[in-house]
């Protein structure tokens, strides 16, 4: 089983009725190392948020903000990966919005 199925699925629940939202934060389009593909066992929505893109970009812009995932705060499981400062910002935002620590999984490299 995939790690996310073991961690999130639990019991006999299935992903088929859930939407997975993946937010990637990068400085520019050239910093996007991996472009996620939508599909799999759940509906996957991929959003790239760029903080320093000077070129043509139709997607979201800015730094990590509760506004980017406000509609997910109540029931989402948050998987966080990135530089220490980024992870601290995300955890602080989630904490201030009442997300319990057990709903936040950190990936440290």
The rounded average pLDDT for each run of 10 residues, N- to C-terminus, in the chain (109 residues) is: 44 51 82 64 75 90 87 80 87 90 82
What pLDDT is stored for residue 52 in this prediction? 93
Cα angle 62, 56, 63; round to 5: 5
Provide the whole-model pTM.
0.65
What pLDDT is stored for residue 74 in this prediction? 79
What pLDDT is stored for residue 92 in this prediction? 92
What pLDDT is stored for residue 79 in this prediction? 83
Element (H, E) at 61: strand 60-61
Cα angle 87, 90, 95; round to 5: 120
The encoded tokens of residue 3 equal 């790690």
What pLDDT is stored for residue 34 in this prediction? 66
| DSSP bridge pairs for 21 | 45
Helices (H), 1-109: 3-4, 84-96
- Alpha carbons 40 and 17: distance in angstroms, whole number: 12
């Amino acid at each position: 089983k995939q790690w996310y199925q073991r961690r999130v699925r639990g019991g006999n629940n299935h992903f088929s009725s859930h939407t997975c939202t993946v937010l990637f934060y990068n400085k520019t389009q050239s910093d996007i190392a991996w472009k996620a593909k939508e599909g799999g066992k759940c509906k996957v929505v991929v959003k790239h948020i760029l903080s320093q893109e000077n070129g043509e970009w139709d997607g979201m812009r800015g730094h990590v903000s509760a506004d980017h995932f406000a509609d997910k705060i109540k029931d989402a499981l948050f998987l966080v990966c990135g530089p220490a400062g980024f992870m601290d910002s995300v955890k602080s935002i989630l904490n201030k919005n009442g997300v319990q620590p057990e709903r936040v999984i950190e990936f440290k490299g």
